[in-house]
Amino acid sequence: MELPRLEPLWKKYRDKGFSVIAIEATKDRERAVKFIEENGLTYHLLEAEEEKILVKKQFGIKWFPTSFLIDREGRVMICHVGFSAGDEEKLEKEILSLGVRPQ
């Protein structure tokens, strides 16, 4: 499961402008909220259907999970479809390659 593996990256780089936004794709809000609470996730979750539709259209999301590294001008720099154990290390290297550094 990718969401808990993104939490340490969010905490490490959030003060440098790194954000994590998850989209609740199952349409089961109660289950999603429970999962977030059980895993201590603190980043933003999109729940409103209008927001989800807008983001999916804007970035052409067809499969979940899909992850993007987007620069401050809104350009997609890196895109990943799927997530496996260990991908968080690859993602951190990509974050660093874009010039984001922890404090």
pLDDT for the residue numbered 38: 94
The model's confidence at residue 21, banded by pLDDT at 50, 70 and 90, is confident
Q: Please determine, for residue 103, whether its predicted confidence score (pLDDT) is greater than 80.
A: no
Q: Are 15 and 103 in contact (CB under 8 A)?
A: yes
Pinpoint the alpha helices (H) of the chain: 2-13, 29-39, 49-59, 87-97
- Listed in sequence order, the residues at least 6 apart from 85 whose beta carbon sits closer than 8 Å to its beta carbon are 5
pTM, to two decimals: 0.78
The chain-wide mean pLDDT, for the chain, equals 84
5 compared with 27, residue with greater pLDDT: 5
Rounded CA-CA distance 16/81 in Å is: 24
**Which range has highest mean pLDDT (1-5, 36-40, 82-86)?**
36-40
